[in-house]
């Protein structure tokens, strides 16, 4: 709506560099940032008036697309009424009560208690604290450890960075909490499991519990589809086995559905695909489609009952000023209404299949593309030196970054890359023509960068 002059843009970039510290900041790569002006549906427009398809729903969160006046109205109406009230014990508010009931209704049948946070990181950190709290209430205080997976992403706080299974997130921030440990491929593992797309199987968890001692392990955390680590999908049997292992060793299962929650895989929550139920569910992002910050963790009937029947010295001293924020709750309620009115889960399933098929037909058999993976409207693939041998590119070549840059500059599609893995997750409102545009931009970028 506003095309800015080059002088104004240069001034903005100067001030940005001088004052704004960005997530994953690396100043040499921030000399010419894309500065967004407005959005409309799946489209983003920068301050020069250039349009791009938002191929990752911004950060996997803008599920209903940009520029929804219904959500602006919901926020404005609530702010006019009352923007904020105190939700500590003894006080509550109408939109938060309605949202908690709605989320409990949509989530897995065994879950009933909702604690609202402001982000995915807070959801996961709260989930871990709650798991420890629960085991203390059961008289088992030694159960404190959390097991997480390689290539997982769980957030930016100290504990959730430790849960994250991507070493660059640890470097220079240590020491990290020692009770947060990771699965690793067990030595001499012989099994007939169908492997996940990144090569792991449920025995990795079993080996980690045995290694640590089940008496010391409070919980296991996993994303149904590892997102920010490169989009890695599980085998059909994986989470059924995980549930069975967690039950056998009395380890709580935390499902981090900060990306997959609220429709991304074509279901409200991803474990509906495999008929599995976690003990704690972490969400954020699409609960408000990113229009205002909000997250939540949702606990099982059993944990909820334990929280409601604690002895007097065991008050649940976990708190955020903005927990159950009335304005965020009102936006979330209206956002979830849009999901239902516009049948977005069905669209995610149909358009997800079109995206997966499109990528497979454009790139299947390409010399430099391997391991195309998707579930609903989340997809990823890997760029390699040679798809037949699986030989990787030299990291210094930065092929993933080159492809993403070409997609943005020439193909008008913005998405992210993780090393040589390209990830895609467009808004759930995406149309067939827009999927065709995305697939065309991906193919053109790969052919231009690899020369094949």
Chain positions contacting ligand PLP, by CB under 6 A: 59, 119-121, 124, 153-156, 223, 227-228, 256, 258-259, 284
Report the distance separating Cα 5 and Cα 3, nearest Å: 7
Q: Which residue, 111 or 363, has its beta carbon nearer to ligand PLP?
A: 111
Q: 121 vs 402, which CB is nearer to ligand PLP?
A: 121
**DSSP symbols for 17-50:** HHH-PPTT--GGGGSS---EEEEEBTEEEETT--
Least Å distance between CB 155 and ligand PLP? 4
**Which residue of this chain has its Cβ atom nearest to ligand PLP in the complex?**
120
Minimum gap (Å) between residue 272 Cβ and ligand PLP: 17
Rg value, the chain, Cα: 22
- Of 335, 326, 289, whose CA–CA distance to 95 is shortest? 326
Q: Residue 312 CB, nearest distance to ligand PLP (Å)?
A: 33
Q: Which residues pair with 41 in a beta bridge?
A: 66
Q: How far is the CB of 147 from ligand PLP (least distance, A)?
A: 16
Kindly provide the residue ranges of all beta strands, DSSP E only, lying in 191-273, ordered along the sequence: 217-222, 252-256
Q: Which is nearer to ligand PLP, 255 or 402 (CB)?
A: 255
Q: Two tokens at 126? A: 């709260």
The alpha carbon of residue 103 and the mean position of all alpha carbons in its chain are separated, in whole angstroms, by 17
Cβ distance to ligand PLP smaller for residue 295 or 411: 295
Give the pair of three-digit tokens for residue 16.
Answer: 């940005």
CB of 8 to ligand PLP, least distance (A): 30
| H-helix or E-strand spanning residue 395 | none
Q: Which two tokens stand for residue 275?
A: 């008929």
C-beta of 166: minimal distance to ligand PLP in Å?
11
Which residue, 153 or 393, has its beta carbon nearer to ligand PLP?
153
**Do residues 147 and 219 make contact, with C-beta atoms less than 8 angstroms apart?**
yes
**Nearer Cβ to ligand PLP, position 95 or 227?**
227
Largest CA distance in the chain: 69
């Amino acid at each position: 709506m506003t095309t800015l002059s080059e002088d104004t843009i240069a001034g903005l970039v100067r001030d940005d560099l001088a004052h704004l510290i960005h997530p994953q900041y690396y100043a040499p790569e921030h000399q010419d940032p894309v500065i967004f002006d407005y959005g409309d549906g799946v489209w983003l427009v920068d301050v020069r008036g250039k349009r791009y398809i938002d191929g990752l729903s911004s950060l996997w969160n803008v599920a209903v697309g940009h520029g929804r006046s219904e959500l602006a109205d919901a926020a404005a109406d609530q702010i006019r009424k009352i923007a904020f009230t105190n939700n500590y014990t003894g006080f509550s508010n109408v939109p938060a009560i309605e949202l908690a009931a709605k989320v409990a209704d949509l989530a897995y049948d065994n879950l009933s208690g909702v604690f609202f946070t402001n982000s995915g990181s807070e959801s996961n950190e709260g989930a871990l604290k709650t798991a420890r709290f629960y085991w203390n209430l059961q008289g088992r205080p030694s159960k404190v450890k959390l097991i997480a997976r390689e290539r997982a992403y769980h957030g930016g706080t100290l504990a959730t960075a430790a849960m994250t299974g991507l070493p660059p997130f640890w470097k220079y921030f240590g020491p990290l909490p020692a009770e947060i440990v990771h699965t690793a491929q067990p030595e001499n593992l012989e099994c007939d499991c169908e492997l996940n797309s990144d090569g792991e199987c449920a025995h990795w968890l079993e080996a980690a519990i045995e290694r640590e001692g089940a008496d010391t392990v409070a919980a296991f955390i996993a994303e149904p589809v590892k997102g920010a680590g490169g989009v890695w999908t599980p085998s059909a049997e994986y989470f059924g086995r995980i549930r069975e292992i967690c039950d056998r060793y009395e380890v709580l299962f935390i499902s981090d559905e900060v990306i997959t929650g609220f429709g991304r895989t074509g279901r409200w929550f991803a474990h509906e695909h495999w008929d599995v139920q976690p003990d704690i569910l972490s969400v954020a992002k699409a609960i408000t489609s990113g229009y205002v910050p909000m997250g939540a963790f949702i606990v099982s009937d059993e944990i909820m009952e334990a929280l409601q029947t604690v002895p007097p010295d065991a008050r649940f001293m976990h708190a955020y000023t903005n927990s159950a924020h009335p304005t965020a709750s009102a936006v979330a309620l209206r956002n979830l209404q849009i999901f239902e009115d516009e049948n977005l889960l069905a669209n995610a399933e149909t358009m997800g299949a079109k995206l997966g098929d499109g990528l497979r037909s454009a790139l299947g058999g390409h010399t430099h593309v391997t391991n195309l993976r998707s579930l609903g409207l989340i997809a990823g693939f890997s760029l390699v030196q040679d798809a037949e041998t699986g030989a990787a590119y030299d990291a210094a070549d930065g092929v993933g970054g080159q492809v993403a840059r070409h997609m943005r500059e020439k193909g008008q599609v913005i998405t992210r890359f993780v090393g040589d893995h390209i990830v895609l997750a467009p808004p759930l409102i995406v149309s067939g023509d827009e999927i065709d545009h995305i697939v065309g931009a991906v193919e053109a970028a790969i052919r231009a960068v690899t020369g094949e």
